[in-house]
Structure 1
Amino acid sequence: MRIVILGDTHMPRMAKSLPPRLIKELGTADRIIHTGDWQSLAVYDELQRFAPVDGVYGNADPPEIREQFGREKCFSFDGITVSLVHGDGKGKTTPIRALDTFREEQPDIILFGHSHIPYHENHDGIVLFNPGSPTDKRRQQESSFGILETADTGFTLRHIFYNSKI
Structure 2
Amino acid sequence: MDTLKIVVTGDTHMPMRGKKLPSKLIESLSNADLILHVGDWSTIEVYDELTRYAPVEGVVGNVDQEEIQKRFAQKKIITLDKVRIGLTHGHGKGKTTEKRAIDMFKDDAVDIVTFGHSHIPVLHHYNDLITFNPGSPTDKRRQNQYSFGIIQISETVAIQHVYYDTKE
Where 2:135 maps in the other structure, the secondary structure is coil
Identity of aligned residues (%): 49
Where 1:45 maps in the other structure, the secondary structure is helix
Q: Is the 8 A contact 1:80 1:154 kept in 2?
A: no
Looking at structure 2, the residues matched to 88 and 124 of structure 1 have their Cα atoms a distance apart, in angstroms, of 24
* Alignment of structure 1 residues 25-40 onto 2, 5 Å: 25-40=28-43
- Report how far residue 34 of structure 1 moved: 0.2
- Report how far residue 165 of structure 1 moved: 0.3
Corresponding position: 1:131 with 2:134: yes
Give 4+ residue runs of structure 1 displaced > 6 Å after superposition. none
Corresponding position: 1:111 with 2:114: yes
Looking at structure 2, the residues matched to 123 and 58 of structure 1 have their Cα atoms a distance apart, in angstroms, of 25
Structure 1 equivalent of residue 161 of structure 2: 159
Residue correspondences, number? 165
2:74 to 55, 71, 75: 71
Looking at structure 2, the residues matched to 123 and 104 of structure 1 have their Cα atoms a distance apart, in angstroms, of 16
Where 2:87 maps in the other structure, the secondary structure is strand
- Report how far residue 122 of structure 1 moved: 1.1
Structure 2 equivalent of residue 58 of structure 1: 61
Corresponding position: 1:8 with 2:11: yes
Counterpart residue identity of residue 160, structure 1? V
Corresponding position: 1:22 with 2:17: no
Looking at structure 2, the residues matched to 59 and 150 of structure 1 have their Cα atoms a distance apart, in angstroms, of 29
Q: Is the 8 A contact 1:32 1:53 kept in 2?
A: yes
- Report how far residue 78 of structure 1 moved: 1.1
Where 1:84 maps in the other structure, the secondary structure is strand
- Report how far residue 93 of structure 1 moved: 0.3
Looking at structure 2, the residues matched to 123 and 85 of structure 1 have their Cα atoms a distance apart, in angstroms, of 18
Structure 1 equivalent of residue 152 of structure 2: 149
Where 1:25 maps in the other structure, the secondary structure is helix
- Report how far residue 162 of structure 1 moved: 0.4
Length-normalised TM-score, structure 2: 0.96
- Report how far residue 29 of structure 1 moved: 0.2
Q: What are structure 1's unaligned runs of at least 5 residues?
A: none
Structure 2 equivalent of residue 102 of structure 1: 105
Q: Is the 8 A contact 1:82 1:108 kept in 2?
A: yes
Q: Which deviations, in whole Å up to 9, do the C-alpha atoms of 1:52-91 show, x marking residues without a partner?
A: 0110000000111000111100011111010010000000
Looking at structure 2, the residues matched to 81 and 156 of structure 1 have their Cα atoms a distance apart, in angstroms, of 14
